[in-house]
Chains A and B, each alone.
Chain A
Amino acid sequence: MSDITKQSLTELVENIKNKKLSSTEVTKAFIERSKKSKELNAYITDDFTSALDKAKKFDQKPNLDLKLPGIPMAVKDLFCTKDVKTTAGSKILNNFIPTYESTVTQNIWNEGAILLGKLNCDEFAMGSSNETSFFGNVQNPIDKNLVPGGSSGGSASAVAGQLTPITIGTDTGGSIRQPASFTGIVGLKPTYGSCSRYGIVAFASSLDQAGPMAQNVKDCALLQEVISTYDTKDSTSIDFKRNQYSKELTKNIKGKKIGIPKEYRIDGMPKEIEDLWQKGVQYIKDCGAETVDISLPHTSYALPTYYIVAPAEASSNLARYDGVKYGFRAKGENLIDMYEKTRSEGFGAEVQRRIMIGTYVLSSGYYDAYYLKAQKVRKLIKNDFDDAYKKVDAILTPSTPSSAFKIGEKTDDPVSMYLNDIFTVPVNLAGLPGISIPAGHDSKGYPLGLQIIGKAFDEQNILNIAFAMEEKINFKNKVTDWWIK
């Protein structure tokens, strides 16, 4: 089979189970394409040699009852992987090799998947374009010099460019959904507490959540089924009844009520986005569901709230990178000098900016005005959703206020960069699940995504809605392989 890398996860699993393909063949195919795709800069670290060994070992004694039998997979470089370098896209962890495995990746290997390598991302997941990575920016497979979004930019690029059949990212304010939207793939941010945070390099603990990124909704559901487990090693992990998301997936969403929040119709939003949203409403109706106009009155406060809460937590979470125990250390005259040089040289500009914002908003005299107030607003935002869900089963919005932009276009304007997350951030603040599915193209042929937001722990419902809409939308991603010579 010559077009292995074009197959979806579901197809690959089926072909391996039916012995039409071996894990070695599949793994080889993705390694070869990955090697030809250096220009995308999707990988920070590859683990190809050991991946092939593992594939061969799998084929010798294949366990075909597993959910991901012999499936090769690259993951975002924010997940700690045992014996494989884990950098979080930062110079400060450039030499860091964990002796332990994150719960989410362990769940994946337990189901038979094989690590291909570690994917590029914004430094400590702080960014919306993958331009803050110490390891350079990532190219969007859609077009040259186009950002893939961020922070899971390498992950999005690798799935869209078919360097990996599927992947996992992390989403703190949109870091799965926004790059999924920019690259024409599916990305799910699960309910906070659904996937363990154990072994994931922390950005903002109360917002971080791992989730699947895939070519289609069914693949996405299958991976969610694998990665979502209750974990006592994470105190914020929640013990709820998890569905067999892929098995229970259905296109029957008849009678479902989908909310359309008027506050997401923001000033200056391109007409293309508005049109896409209207098309989304039509797709919903075509699927036999109905739409209901709703209000989420505190939406406009979400972004400023997020840019207080997330940096505050980050400023504290990143204090451990001090040059003392592991990672990069600069030489200094004394302890303080060593700290200052290590952190000035080890962290990039965006990370430093957020540490400073976070330190400021937690400082005595400012705490009440910023951090405490932001926490109160966060509660109001959550209340908005709670009220809305008394009337509707899910909410439909655009994923982003625009399509992918050019590399370098917004790097000098952090606020305009932050505005990218305007539709995704409220979902993190409320701890809800949200999925972005590709729903159309703009005039330049760049993909655009729609977001479906669900009730807490109701991943099955938004996956079902996405699955039904996916069929109606019948999206075809325009990947031209421009980077392959």
Chain B
Amino acid sequence: MSKKNSEYLINRKDNQYEVVIGLEVHAQVLSESKLFSTSATKFGAEPNTQVSLVDAAFPGMLPVINEFCVKQAIKTGIGLNAKINKRSVFDRKNYFYADLPQGYQISQFKDPIVGEGKVILDMPDGQKVVGIERLHLEQDAGKSIHDLDPQNTFVDLNRSGVALMEIVSKPDLRSPDEVSAYIKKLRSIMRYLGTCDGNMQEGSLRADVNVSVRAKGSKEFGTRCEIKNVNSIKFMQMAIEYEANRQVDLIEEGKSIDQETRLFDTKKNETRSMRSKEDAHDYRYFPDPDLLPLEISDEFINELKNNIPELPDDKKKRFIDEFKLSPYEATILVSDIDTAKYFEEVVAKMGKNKDMKLAVNWITGELFAVLNNKNLEISQSPVSAKNLAILVNLIKNGTISGKIAKTIFELMLDGDKDPQKIVEEKGLKQQSDPKAIEALIDKIINDNREKAIEYKQGKEKLFGFFVGQAMKASGGKANPQLINEILKKKLQ
């Protein structure tokens, strides 16, 4: 394997192979109730407590579309810069399984609600555009539980009928890193929109990964394999790496690749054949006669368009233009909507005379470290944006030094204390009176005359020693800049 910038290639003897990846992401629509029934969708409820007669497919029960889910899908489509189809059709995908009560899944086949769009990825060596093929709405199935009883399978229908958005990418991805960036970007956009919580542990976001390989420079696609239902970014990356190498090995051995559906075994870190193309289901798709085609007016779409919040790409641009952030800083801050919100609140609270760089550094440095250690989301931050803004201002206006600020920050963690008050209570205000510092420095030079002479003779690294002594003498409160200035003058 070699990496030239972000180019991901698989090497065998003299041959180099490129990996081609397309994703079918299943994103659970953030909605109180299901796609065609009024049952609740809460995660982790007792089995079969969120099931209506419609979800369990009782005789004579009929689906009724949940308008909110339609809006969520359209909003997501807008977020993906995609074409919204004013007429879409729900189809039945027919197959038998114990956790599929109707004997069919209601999905969209020929006429999805959202057509082509695109997503922009920020890769280390620049931007990459990934095409979106389509987004359609469909029902989730229930869950079969095989390990509770030696003879029987249990079925939990809580998920049955929950609304999913299937987002199909074009085969534009070329490496595990791009896949990671793509999933993160999708998740970010949907969280900005409030259309999917993106929680992969709870299964709100999972993907079927299509992988093929081809000789570097080739324009033809190789035969692809679809790895079903992978539910973490790490597993997607591992599965792609394994699968791509498996396919390359087959080619190198002169064998052919079978188009098939495979499963990723997370324990063995390998993909396994699930069913071949010949065994593929014939789903007998046809328009669901219980549902009329979904017709959406321009007004309906425009109303949603007008209420779309600022999305990551626009926000990033604004952060760069307005706050003079570097693209790198802006990318980090916009990647998650709650981080962006936090940052903007800090900016607002800092008032007129603000130090943007300092604020960014504190958020991405100290605050992120704390959140990481405590395994918290930024929305659960122990330090409020308001108090962080006060802290940054205290540094900016010279009231405290950066070093003292770190001490104060530690104290703020317990109960989101006001840093101003901590400074007052603990007497941590920075000494910025030049006369007092001068007196302090005079004393130190006097006490260390030999070292002062050595310094003047050229042992310049002793400067640090004097700074340290001055800091120590002031109890860390002396303004470091003033110490520097005065020391330089005195030691000349």
Contact = CB atoms under 8 A, between A and B. Distances in A.
Contacts of A202: 59-60, 290
Given A204-B289, A206-B289, A322-B96, A96 B59 contact: yes
Given A235-B65, A319-B94, A320-B102, A362 B60 contact: no
Contact of A320 (B103, B153, B284, B286): B103
Interface in A170-197: 197
B292 interface: yes
Nearest to A101: B60
Nearest to B64: A235
B286 A324 contact: no
A79 B62 CA distance: 14
State the main secondary structure of chain B at its contact with A: loop
B286 A371 contact: yes
Nearest to B60: A199
A234 interface: yes
Contacts of B96: 319, 322, 339
A362 B284 contact: yes
A21 B242 CA distance: 83
Interface in B296-341: none
B60 A201 contact: yes
Contacts of A93: 59
A303 to B, nearest CB: 19
A348 interface: no
Interface residues of A, number: 43
Interface in A311-368: 312-313, 315-316, 318-320, 322, 324-326, 335, 339, 359, 362-364, 367
A324 B286 CA distance: 24
Most buried by B among A102, A318, A322, A367: A322
B292 A320 contact: no
Contact of B291 (A86, A198, A201, A235): A235
A322 B98 CA distance: 8
A316 B59 contact: no
Most buried by A among B60, B94, B96: B60
Contacts of B65: 235
B292 A235 contact: yes
B58 interface: yes
A392 B418 CA distance: 84
Contacts of B291: 235-236
Nearest to B93: A316
A236 B292 contact: yes
State the main secondary structure of chain A at its contact with B: loop
A100 interface: yes
Contacts of A324: 98, 101, 155
Nearest to A309: B289
Nearest to A93: B59
Interface residues of B, number: 30
Contact of B57 (A200, A236, A320): A320
Contacts of A206: 289
B289 A205 contact: yes
A232 interface: yes
A98 B103 contact: no
A66 to B, nearest CB: 25
A319 B283 CA distance: 13
A88 B60 CA distance: 11
A198 B62 contact: yes
Contacts of A319: 94, 96, 102-104
B53 A100 contact: yes
A86 B61 CA distance: 14
B56 A325 contact: yes
B282 A316 contact: no
B304 to A, nearest CB: 22
B161 to A, nearest CB: 13
A168 interface: no
A312 B60 contact: no
B63 interface: yes
B60 A363 contact: no
Nearest to A320: B57
Contacts of A86: 59
B92 interface: yes
B58 A335 contact: no
A315 B289 CA distance: 13
Most buried by A among B56, B62, B103: B62
Interface of B: 53, 56-65, 92, 94, 96-98, 101-104, 153, 155, 282, 284-286, 289-292
23 contacts: A79-B60, A98-B58, A98-B60, A197-B60, A197-B62, A199-B61, A202-B60, A205-B289, A233-B62, A234-B62, A234-B64, A235-B64, A236-B292, A316-B94, A316-B103, A320-B57, A320-B59, A322-B96, A324-B98, A324-B101, A359-B284, A362-B94, A362-B285
Q: Which 6 A-B pairs have the closest CB atoms?
A: A319-B103, A205-B289, A362-B284, A206-B289, A199-B60, A320-B57
